[in-house]
């Protein structure tokens, strides 16, 4: 009996990780890839679905490899709180999130310029269960050809320097000079630039979640 169990456990190997391949746009953002008729619009393309509270902002950036080249086949998703710091999630217990704001978005890198773009709401500060406050931020998830497991990072806002000093996540970054890789750059009224560098000088801090 034990012999059969051991043989079974030996046969059930973990599936090997695979990169997203060059087809991530086709499967997840067909409209962005020029394939019409699958969805009226790509899932995650619209985050503001009504008269949502809060300041409208635009987040734009590119995913850049270790050689400094922009990845034009990357896909980025963001997850964030609404203007009151509440998430549109069944697990949100602090109050009711804004129903006119989804809190989740998906953008394919533009196949020409390489930028991803999100039209969203400036998030509020988020209180942790232990009472500590997180500075306003958005969470980003990145996949692309050559990335075996999606990468998690965060984008913070340059105006919130005082809140950054007490943010629990930023406080855990050992090499303090790398905190700057998580701070967006102003890019005009209501607009921010956040480039994600996968390797090399200025490599973005990624979180093991």
pLDDT tens for each residue of 68-94 = 999 988 999 999 999 999 999 999 999
Cα separation, 106 vs 112, whole angstroms: 18
Which two three-digit tokens encode residue 25? 């746009």
Q: What is the pLDDT of residues 42-52, one digit of tens each?
A: 999 999 999 99
pLDDT at 56: 98
Helix (H, G, I), strand (E, B), or coil: what is residue 177?
A: helix
CATH class of 18-197: mainly beta
Q: Which residues lie closer than 8 Å to 100 by C-beta, 6 or more apart?
A: 48, 49, 50, 51, 52, 53
Q: What percent of the chain has pLDDT over 70?
A: 89
Over pLDDT 90: what percentage of the chain? 73
Residue 141 CA: distances (Å) to CA of 26, 97, 136, 208: 18, 22, 17, 11
Cα 169 off chain centre by: 15
Predicted pLDDT of residue 33: 86
What pLDDT, in 10s, does the model give residues 175-189? Answer: 999 999 999 999 999
> Residues 108, 142: contact at Cβ < 8 Å?
no
Of 20-24, 39-43, 126-130, 204-208, where does mean pLDDT reach its minimum?
A: 20-24
Q: What is the pLDDT of residue 162?
A: 96
pLDDT in tens, 86-117: 999 999 999 999 999 999 999 999 888 889 99
Q: Are 185 and 157 in contact (CB under 8 A)?
A: no
Give the tokens for residue 2. Answer: 């034990």
Q: Name the 3-class secondary structure at 104.
A: strand
Answer whether residue 3 shows pLDDT above 60.
no
Q: Give the pLDDT confidence score for residue 59 in this predicted structure.
A: 98
- Range with the poorest average pLDDT among 12-21, 159-168, 192-201: 12-21
pLDDT band of residue 159 (cuts 50, 70, 90) is: very high
Its pTM stands at: 0.88
The candidate with the shortest Cα–Cα distance to 95, out of 83, 113, 107, 104, is 83
Domain definitions of the chain by residue range: 18-197
Rounded mean pLDDT, 52-58? 98
What is the spatial distance between Cα 181 and Cα 77, in angstroms, rounded to a whole number?
Answer: 18
Q: How far apart are CA 173 and CA 181, in angstroms?
A: 11
Q: Which of 39, 114, 43, 53 is nearest to 82 (CA)?
A: 53
- Average pLDDT on 25-50 reads 91
Q: How many helices (H) and strands (E) does the chain have?
A: 4, 11
Residue 23 has pLDDT above 80, yes or no: no
């Amino acid at each position: 009996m034990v012999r059969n169990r051991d043989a079974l456990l030996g046969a059930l190997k973990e599936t090997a990780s695979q990169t997203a391949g060059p087809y991530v746009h086709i499967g997840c953002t067909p409209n962005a890839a020029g394939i019409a008729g699958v969805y009226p619009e790509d899932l995650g393309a619209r985050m503001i679905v009504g008269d949502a509270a809060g300041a409208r902002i635009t987040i734009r950036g590119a995913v850049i490899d270790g050689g400094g080249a922009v990845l034009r086949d990357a896909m980025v998703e963001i997850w964030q709180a609404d203007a009151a710091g509440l998430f549109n999630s069944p697990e949100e217990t602090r109050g009711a999130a804004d129903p006119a704001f989804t809190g989740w978005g998906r953008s394919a890198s533009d196949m020409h310029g390489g930028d991803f773009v999100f039209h969203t709401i400036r998030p509020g500060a988020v209180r942790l269960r232990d009472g500590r406050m997180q500075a306003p931020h958005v969470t980003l998830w990145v996949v692309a050809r050559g990335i075996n497991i999606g990468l998690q990072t965060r984008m913070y806002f340059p105006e919130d320097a005082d809140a950054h000093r007490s943010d629990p996540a930023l406080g855990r970054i050992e090499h303090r000079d790398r905190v700057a890789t998580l701070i967006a750059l102003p890019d005009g009224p209501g607009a921010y630039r956040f480039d994600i560098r996968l390797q090399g000088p200025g490599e973005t801090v990624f979180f093991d979640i």
